[in-house]
Amino acid sequence: MDLNGVGAIVTGGASGLGNATAKLLAVQGAKVTIFDLNEEVGVAAAAEIGGLFVKVNVADETSAIAGFDAAEAAHGVARVLVNCAGVAPAARVVAKDGTAHSLDVYRKTIEVNLIGTFNMISKFAARVVAAGIEGEEAGVIVNTASVAAYDGQIGQAAYASSKGGVVGLTLTAARDLAQHRVRVVTIAPGIFLTPMLMGLPQAAQDSLGQQVPHPSRLGKPEEYAQMVGAIVANPMLNGEVIRLDGAIRMAPR
């Protein structure tokens, strides 16, 4: 898909993987709208790329609809959606002190990471279909899973469950939307230098990076964005989950 002048939406686009993706899409000519809850950072991020910021809770239907309305009013019907919004709590099924995993924490993780992804997919695709876009390709959706979907570590029960759901959603969503010429592809990143990891001491960052076979370092958000760009550009990439992880397979802890 030629992105020049095309409307694109990036959830979680205020920082991290989403922000790098928003920048890349803008450089390629897309009219980018950032959906995020961090208004202060999101407004600045959108201004930097000449885009639009809308405060959106991806797991809330009313908030999502309002966000898509605002994006469409500014940039027309979006034809590219990249789902990067997510949360990553750490808690064991049963803690060392015998306390059971909080059901509220588990539920929130599923709501944001999985239900939020589905909410964005369905709302986005419905608008693409209604727009009656002609040609071989009407739209592209890129989701973010995680290697935790396959190699969930100790303390990642909620996170791994939610990302496993995104993996399971990918092929069936691609098949559902094939008749409408909308592709669905998911990226499963390994250990990337996100704001959460940037808060760790350099020694801890280096130690995590050394776990990656090659290249033996943390992934860069720009490398995630490059994969998004490759997916958007290649019309035969559909219904697939791509591990972007330097060949790492996570240990139990």
Tell me the β-bridge partners of 185.
142
How many other CB atoms sit within 10 Å of the CB of residue 197? 16
For residue 145, give the DSSP letter.
-
- 159 given a catalytic annotation: yes
CA angle, residues 66, 181, 31, in degrees to nearest 5: 45
Rounded to whole angstroms, how far apart are CA atoms 97 and 95? 5
Please identify which of the residues 106, 150, 159, 224 carries the catalytic annotation: 159
Tell me the β-bridge partners of 156.
91
Q: Which two tokens stand for residue 209?
A: 């990076």
**Cα dihedral sign, 58-59-62-65:** positive
Q: Give catalytic residues, as residue numbers.
A: 159
